[in-house]
Amino acid sequence: MDAVCESSIGECSDPPPSKRGTLPPPSIVLQIEPKTFSQVRLPYSIILTTLLYCGELVSAAILTTSYSHSNDQFWLLLTLFFMLMPSIMDQLTLIFVHRDLTSDKPMVFCMHLLLLGPLIRCLEALMIYCQVGVEEEPYVTITRKKQLRRDSEIEVEQEVGHSLRRLVTHRNAFKRMAVIQAFLGSTPQLTLQLYISVMEQYIPPTRAVLMGICLVSVTYGALVCNVLAIQIKYDDYKIRLRPLAFICIILWRSLEISTRITVLVFFGSVFKHYALAVGMANFLVLFFLPWVQFWRSGAQLPDNVEKNFSRVGTVSVLCAITLLYAGINIFCWSAVQLRLSDRDLISKSQSWKYLVFYYVFRGVENSVLLILWYLFKTDFYEYICMPMLVVQLIVTYCLAIAFMLFFYQYFHPCRRLFTHNISDFLECVCCKSRQAAHSSHLDPPYEPGVRHSIV
C-alpha cells in the first residue's frame, strides 16, 4: 500500500487531518460471492474493438487503392505503413496474451497471418459467452479483490470457472489491442490524412470515412488506456468507474489528442521537414528514456515476462512495450511511468511530478509550434482568422488539463488512496505564497535603545 500512496508532493508540509479531508482507516469486511453466471456481461468491448479494427483496415485499403490510381506513391506508402504496422502488432499481442506460441492451432495462426486474428478471436469469445452457464463446471481459481466504500473496505472473494477465465483473457487481450491500434495506427493515420487534406484542400469520401473511424478508435483507445493504467496501478482493488468519470476522461483525452494532432498538422503544413524532425525527436527521447533509466539503475532484465522466452525474446517484448509507451506519450499523457527494472514493468506510485512536467513541457512545445506556424503561415491561411484559431487551440488544451484535474480530484475511483490530491497541492502552494507575502510585510522588531532605520 505504501508504494501505491507515494507522492512527489511530500516536500510540502502535511495539513492537519481536519483540513486534509481524509477519512479514517476503513474497516475490512470479507464478503464471499458465489459463482453466478447471470452476472457475465456480453463482451461489448471485444465487439467494438473488432469492428473498429476491421473498419479501419478496409477503409485504409480502399484509400491506398485510390492513391495508387492517382499515382500518389508517397501517400500510398505512408498510409499502407500505418495500416500494416499496427495490424501486425495486434496479431502478436493477441498471440502473446493468449500464450499460443506453444499450442497447436493452425486455423487461428492462419487467420493471424491474414491479419484477421481479431475476427476469429471475437467469434471465439462470443461462443464462450453463449456457453457460460449452460453446464456447471468446477471453479479453477478464486479471485479476491477489494472494493472501496464510503466507510469501509470490502474484500470480495469469488469463484472463477474455466469458461469465465477464458473470457476474461479475451477481454484483457482486446483491451491491449485497442490501445495499440489507437496510438500506433489510428493516431498517426489520422494525423497523416488530415495533413494530406490540408495540403490538397480537399477531402474525398473514402478519406473522410477513414478519418472518422480513426477518430472513434483514438477516443476509445485513450479511454481504455486510462482504465488499464488504473487497473495496473491498483491491482488489488476492483475498479468501477462512474458514468461521469467516463465522460470526464473522454472529454480530457479527446481535447488533448485533437489539439496535439491539429498543432502538428498546421506546423507540418509550413515546415514539413522540421515537423518530421520534431516528431522523431519526441519519439526517440520517449523510447530511450526508460532504457536509460534502466541502465542507470544497474538492474537486470525481468524474468517474468514469459517463462519460455529467451533473453532475446524478453528484449523484443520490452522494446515493443517501450514503442507503445513512446507512441502514446507523443500525443497524450500515458498515465503510467514505465520502469523496465521493476517486476511489473509499471511504477505503481502516483507520481505527480512527472504529470506536471509532461503537461508543462507539452504546453510550451505546442505554444512554440503554434507561434512559428502563425509567423510563417502560407497564403492558404489568409482566409482564416488566425489569431482566433490560435486562441481556440490554446484554450482547448487548457480545457483538457482542467478536465484531467477534475477527474483526479473528484472522479478517480481510488482517490482515497492518495496521500495528496490536487486540492492539497493547490492549498500547499497558496499557503506558501501567503506566508511569503506575510513575512515580507512584517514590521521590524522593537528593541529598547536601538534605532531602526529602513533603507
Whole-number pLDDT of residue 435:
59
Interatomic CA distance for residues 349 and 370, integer angstroms: 34
Q: Which helix (H) or strand (E) holds 33?
A: strand 27-33
Which residues have a Cβ under 8 Å from the Cβ of 48 and sit 6 or more positions away? Answer: 220
pLDDT digit of tens for each residue in the chain (455 aa)? 333 333 333 334 344 443 444 444 444 454 545 444 445 788 899 999 999 999 999 999 999 998 988 888 888 999 999 999 999 999 988 988 887 766 667 888 888 889 998 999 999 999 988 887 666 666 667 777 777 766 667 777 777 777 788 888 899 999 999 999 999 999 999 999 999 988 888 888 999 999 999 999 999 999 999 998 888 888 877 888 888 999 999 999 999 999 999 999 989 888 888 888 998 999 999 999 989 888 888 777 766 566 556 677 778 888 888 999 999 999 999 888 888 877 777 877 767 788 889 999 999 999 999 888 888 876 666 666 777 888 889 899 999 999 999 998 888 887 777 766 666 666 665 665 555 555 444 444 444 444 433 32
Whole-number pLDDT of residue 303:
65
Phi, psi of 168 (to 5 degrees): -65, -40
**Residue 52: CA count within 13 A, CB half-sphere:** 29
Pairing mode of beta strands 152-161, 27-33? parallel
Q: Which residue has the cell 468507474?
A: 241
Region of residue 136 (phi > 0: left; psi between -120 and 50: alpha; otherwise: beta): beta
For residues 178, 184, 189, 191, the Cα torsion angle rounded to the nearest 10 degrees is: 110
Confidence (pTM)? 0.81
Phi, psi of 232 (to 5 degrees): -70, -40
**Which set of grid coordinates corresponds to residue 341?**
527494472
Cα–Cα distances in angstroms (integers) from residue 166 to residues 98, 127, 159, 216, 445, in the given order: 9, 11, 14, 27, 75
> Pick from 13, 20, 35: which is nearest to 415 by CA?
20
| Cβ count within 10 A of residue 264 | 21
Interatomic CA distance for residues 378 and 209, integer angstroms: 28
